[in-house]
Amino acid sequence: MLRHSVAAAALIGTALFTGAAFAQSGKVTVVTSFSKDVTDPFKQAFEKAHPGVTLDVQNRNTNAGVKFLEETKANNQVDIFWASAPDAFEVLKSKSLLQKHKPKAEGIPDKIGSYPINDPENLYSGFAASGYGIMWNDRYAKANKLPEPKDWQDLAKPVYFDHVAMAAPSRSGTTHLTIETILQGEGWEQGWRTLKEVSGNFRQITERSFGVPEAVNSGQVGFGIVIDFFAFSAQASGFPVKFVYPTVTTIVPANVAVVANAPNKAGAEAFVDYLVSPAGQEVLLEPSIRRLPVNPAVYAKAPADYPNPFKDPSLGSRVKFDVDVSEKRTNVVDVLYDQTVTFQLDALKAATKAIHDAEAAIAKKDNADAKALVKEARGLVAAVPVTEQQASSPEVAGAFTGGKEKGARQAELEQQWAAFAKERYQQAQAKAEQALKLAR
């Protein structure tokens, strides 16, 4: 059996090799997390613009793609890495798996919103942008008589309890950026307070980005915090969903990079150049793709109501975003969210529900003691086990990346943080229940 398979393998290997040699100049291998709806139009347009070149698209989720490049670097066969999450590119960059390339394109500004479009060292380039917002299922909202939300804070209202979903920031680079934007915009303490108040209304925290629009599309969850094109493409396919950009939102670029030691370097660079060229940028306007071009001139060809981050100040430019601050504490923020929210969701929801009930009772019958108790409960929910300084300190960050100095281990920190949060959620729930009794 074994000998047979080796023989078969050798035979097929030869076939593959001769095939590859034949089209040497013409095959560009792309590893991407984008769906067929996005890759197919680009493949067609690019192959038309460069006759004789074929684009070989391999679909992998972002994590698998990064791991794949890492494991195969000794004998790399991939030319292009193409995905949304900027953090994935950061990881690839830090492992020297990318190759420098400055795209030959004019008219592309340095920043979109407050986020830089290209990597400062030109190891990867932004080719499109997307904004975060709230998507909801219209039938669901009507059936449950829920109002249309306009802003992030709306989602913290009691009426949305158990109706909202989001992807975990540790699993979705774009969600991570949204969280980070809130933390930078509102400050560490207040930012976590907002995050936990919204999170207390969550129905679920999914482990992949597409899980959220999928749940909203099928009506399992009413409202989702999603990246805009998920909502737009769902609308284009006919799902009864609506979408709104909150007054303050992040704009995040989607990126492309040439892989280090790409077998077809010239082809890879041609593809990157094509993506940011006016022709490539126009492909982004197709209904099934609907992402925001990084070239401001291209918006002239867009439909009338197309969002334009270069004109509309609410799209990204109101937010201050410091990339350095974000980078230093990426892992800390992710793990902190997972340990205090994702894995403690039941306790957090119980506390949130109790607070909502108590506040409703107080609204009917005022009681100063009860009010004080609820305020205490809210404070307990909002508490964070690490300060802003600690979060970006090398000791804490080193626990996640495996720094040389001996600090606490990741597992120890996780246990501490989880216990901290759980204890406080339970106390908060008790206080809120006490307040409810007083106000009744």
Partner 1 sequence: MAGATTAGRAHAPSVSSRFMRLSATPGQIALALGITVFLVLFLIVPVGTVIYVAFTEKGTGEFTLVNFLDFARTDLFIRSFWNSVYVSAMSVVVASIFALPLAYITTRFEFRGAMLIQTLGFLPLIMPPFVGAVAMLLLFGRNGTVNLLLDEWFGIKIPFMEGLNGVIFVQAVHYFPFILINLSTALRNIDRSMEEAAQNLGSSGFRLFRRIVFPLAMPGYIAGASLVFVKVFDDLATPLLLNVKDMLAPQAYLRVTSIGIADPMGYVISVVLICMSILAMWISARAMRGKDYATVQRGGGGLAKRTMRPWESALAYAAVLLILLLVLAPHIGLLLLSFATIWSFSPLPDAFTLAHYGRVFGESFVYVKNTLLYASIAGLIDVVLGTAIAYLVLRTKLIGREWLDWAATAALAIPGVVLGIGYLRTFYGVQLPDGTPLATLWITIVLALAIRRLPYALRACYAALQQISVSLEEAAENLGATKMRTVRRVVLPLMAGGILAGFVTSFATAAVELSATLMLVQSNADAPLAYGLYVFMQSAAGRGPGAALGVIAVLLVALCTFASHMIIEKSQRAKGASR
What part of residues 202-231 is at the interface with partner 1 (CB under 8 A)? 204-207, 210, 213-215, 217-220, 230
170 contacts: CB under 8 Å, gap ≥ 6: 176, 334, 335, 337, 338, 342
Q: What's the closest the beta carbon of residue 433 comes to partner 1, in angstroms?
A: 22
**Binding letters toward partner 1, positions 339-378, x by CB under 8 A:** x--xx-----------------------------------
42 contacts: CB under 8 Å, gap ≥ 6: 55, 275, 280, 283
* 246: nearest Cα among 332, 294, 312: 312
Question: What φ, ψ does residue 306 adopt, rounded to 5°?
Answer: -70, 130
| Number of residues near partner 1 (by CB under 8 A) | 89
Cα of 44 vs its chain's centroid, Å: 27
Q: What's the closest the beta carbon of residue 174 comes to partner 1, in angstroms?
A: 13
Our finding on whether 304 is near partner 1 (CB under 8 A) is no
Pairing of the two strands 292-293 and 125-137: antiparallel
Q: What's the closest the beta carbon of residue 410 comes to partner 1, in angstroms?
A: 6
Our finding on whether 288 is near partner 1 (CB under 8 A) is yes
Our finding on whether 385 is near partner 1 (CB under 8 A) is no
Q: What's the closest the beta carbon of residue 141 comes to partner 1, in angstroms?
A: 10
Which span (87-95, 185-193, 253-261, 354-362) binds partner 1, by CB under 8 A?
A: 87-95
CB atoms inside a 10 Å sphere around CB 187: 13
Our finding on whether 64 is near partner 1 (CB under 8 A) is yes
Which span (269-277, 337-345, 366-374, 426-434) binds partner 1, by CB under 8 A?
A: 337-345
Closest to partner 1 by CB, 92 or 319: 92
Q: What's the closest the beta carbon of residue 367 comes to partner 1, in angstroms?
A: 33
Our finding on whether 75 is near partner 1 (CB under 8 A) is yes
Please answer whether residues 249 and 316 qualify as being in contact, where contact means their C-beta atoms are separated by less than 8 angstroms: yes
- Residues 8-37 close enough to bind partner 1 by CB under 8 A: 8-10, 12-14, 16-17, 20, 33-37
Our finding on whether 201 is near partner 1 (CB under 8 A) is no
Our finding on whether 286 is near partner 1 (CB under 8 A) is no
| Calpha distance 289→301 (Å, rounded) | 15
Our finding on whether 79 is near partner 1 (CB under 8 A) is no
